[in-house]
Structure 1
């Protein structure tokens, strides 16, 4: 690419971080794209020059798992407040979940949600379509409507959307496989949880740890293994959301070894907390799946290091404070805000020696960009990429304060009061500041774009195409030839 005569912005003095190395360089940005990376004296003239001395430049985080509650539950969160939180947290792209009201289960619901996002988002976005029992015939239409992928609730959570039967899942996977899109899975087995929940509730187990007892790790292990088998049969791409237990790593590693296109994430709360924290945090820590034992946290760190776990996400799931506080654990809503605190928590872990800064770039940006076909436009600081950059101060210390979160209606966090070192201080999306000097740039509202515009998923390895349900129905007497 020829160096332009003049550009919008040059960032100089900082250290660029990729998933493999760090180096001092300047970055030239024009019309939303990175047009040059190199020594400062080689940069073109610029309308603005920004001094990033002492800062590290990271590709903006891509959070493939957020719930912004809009439409239907916007008293908890909106596209405006949720993406403001993302911008403040160094996250430049978010994928929003379909358990809104109405759920994102048909093209009309997709169009409505995309309109809300375009009008209000500070950061780039994609939206998931729902994979449910009653909309299998809508999956191709959802793809045409512009979803980034699909979400399948194998276990119940907020919104109480019915979990599809295994038969419906298989047909859905057979229909999705040729599209190449990835299906994200809430991988917990609904029937086991429902059985245990009813028995525990009847026994008056209302304490916080009863939530863990209702959802032991076997519910996730069974669901992951079952989904991997269906993926292996059909060739459909899958992603396992919010991995909470070490036991899940075995079926995921085995599936990868068999050639299944399966990726997986964990979340900061599973790395930072364990069952010892329930006595202190009570119902605030309630989340699906639950925070588990200390040995699970240790195993998840190892999974991130060896690649069994591909990425970090947040399961950002805001609720009002009064919805979170309850002495009866079953009556407390599940989840809490996370998109604003993820980067600081993980950078603090970098400073603590639990992973390298390059590792963090790999799990927060590079891996999700590759898994959803957004690379090379996203996930890197290089010529031709979108200028989505988080400028972080690795020496800056702050205390997480839930009262300052930009999820303004859901200011309750289990991370409240936690001291962290390593903070995003500026965030750029498409070459424009959305957060500068730890302050939201209000004028940036509505500048976020749908990442579907750049999604380029390679052709999937479709399997057993001659034995899909559609193929067998075509052989029925009287079927159209």
Structure 2
């Protein structure tokens, strides 16, 4: 049977498809949640429903590998329903949620409970991280069996106060994860430096917003990236550097890649669009870990995205209440702010300003995340057979971000009042509209599913297996 004899569920006509390599006008036919055909409209099969995308660009739905939806434990800040609704409005069709919830996701029971919550509420697809720390060390195998997208290691303190493992524990944890092929995402800041500096600043009476930046200079991230890369190189573990915020981190990242370490990295809009110059006006709203840094970091980070040193864009979406973000004492302000809904508009605006291409953005937001996490080409691609995850975007829509109108429960961000020149109009997740004509679809809640079942990571390159903690402490024969 040919495609012209098959009835499609949905045909998207008249739009401009954007891939990492090209832009072209074509129609997309969708059936059973997959892309059935791409080509001239006249060659498409008949469809039960059609969408006119004339004048719009069709992008693979973004994959945000770094969000905090606060569910379970902090539903007043965000839950999976509001967080994934925000994702849908931002053209994001897959999210990876962090494990610093309550309880922290450190064993199979807590993971199963979180899967049940996410499965009932999610408007978009998702992956769940588990904590990689000394408490979860005995549970790594059970966590993988229960369905994780990867592991999160907190080298520095942040919301939830997940304990940072010692370097010795990190080495053993990397040794255990390396043979599984799972990727370890790292909050790469050295805790001991930050806590020492913060204590001294507090003792001096510093409570202003810039004290947060003073407590966490770029060296805390540079040292942590270099140390994690050495441990990954020794063990063969796959690692991912979260929220790259400084020029200084780029050298150990690039050097590790050159040595053959399986290391990837992300940055976030806040490190490209905000700077230390914004602290006075935005005050505690801008507080995030790692901090927004000096202006001179912005261009090198952008260039690292362009040349591939940094692999992808993410958000570190981390919502809090207005009261929690507007306290006068910076040390009492909760760290983080929402971003999953505004990332695509802000980044597409920046792409246009910096004369990059929409294809570059697709590479950073969809293709690279999918490849790095073993989801490609099911996710992150507009190809026949891929999941029909589409962000259909007006790239010539001027609008102003209004915190009061975002889908997130948190109605406060440093993005309020910023102007954008692009806006997702429709978001399709596995063939179903999650957001259509800027309206959340009633039947989308609970449609999202975990992507861990489709993850296929390459065979790992395990190193020094004869010198692991397990090997050297094994009972001797004879």
TM-score interval, normalised by the smaller of the two chains: over 0.9
2:423 matches 1:423: yes
Aligned counterpart, 2:193: 192
Distance 1:265 1:402 in 2: 25
Aligned counterpart, 1:179: 180
- Contact 1:312/1:363 (CA < 8 Å) preserved in 2? yes
Partner of 1:333, secondary structure, is coil
- Contact 1:351/1:394 (CA < 8 Å) preserved in 2? no
Aligned counterpart, 1:455: 455
Aligned counterpart, 2:6: 5
Distance 2:316 2:472 in 1: 38
2:435 matches 1:435: yes
Structure 1 residue 133 displacement after superposition: 1.5
- Contact 2:106/2:135 (CA < 8 Å) preserved in 1? no
Distance 1:306 1:382 in 2: 25
Distance 1:148 1:74 in 2: 22
2:91 matches 1:103: no
Aligned counterpart, 1:133: 134
Partner of 1:35, secondary structure, is strand
The answer to which of 345-354 and 418-427 deviates more is 345-354
Structure 1 unaligned residues grouped into runs of 5+: none
Which ranges of 4 or more aligned residues in structure 1 deviate by more than 2 Å? none
Aligned counterpart, 1:46: 47
Aligned counterpart, 2:279: 278
Aligned-residue CA RMSD (Å): 1.0
When residues 2 and 96 of structure 1 are mapped into structure 2, their CA distance, relative to the original with a 3 A threshold, is: farther
Aligned counterpart, 2:414: 414
Partner of 1:209, secondary structure, is helix
Distance 2:66 2:193 in 1: 24
Partner of 2:126, secondary structure, is strand
2:237 matches 1:236: yes
- Contact 2:15/2:54 (CA < 8 Å) preserved in 1? yes
Distance 1:354 1:115 in 2: 43
- Contact 1:365/1:379 (CA < 8 Å) preserved in 2? yes
- Contact 1:351/1:422 (CA < 8 Å) preserved in 2? no
Distance 2:313 2:2 in 1: 36
When residues 333 and 465 of structure 1 are mapped into structure 2, their CA distance, relative to the original with a 3 A threshold, is: same
Aligned counterpart, 1:80: 81
1:247-326 → structure 2 map (5 Å cutoff): 247-326=248-327
Aligned counterpart, 1:379: 380
Aligned pair count reads: 477
- In the superposition, the TM-score normalised over structure 1's length comes to 0.98
Structure 1 residue 160 displacement after superposition: 0.6
Aligned counterpart, 1:391: 392
Structure 1 residue 355 displacement after superposition: 2.3
- In the superposition, the TM-score normalised over structure 2's length comes to 0.99
Structure 2 unaligned residues grouped into runs of 5+: none
Partner of 1:395, secondary structure, is coil
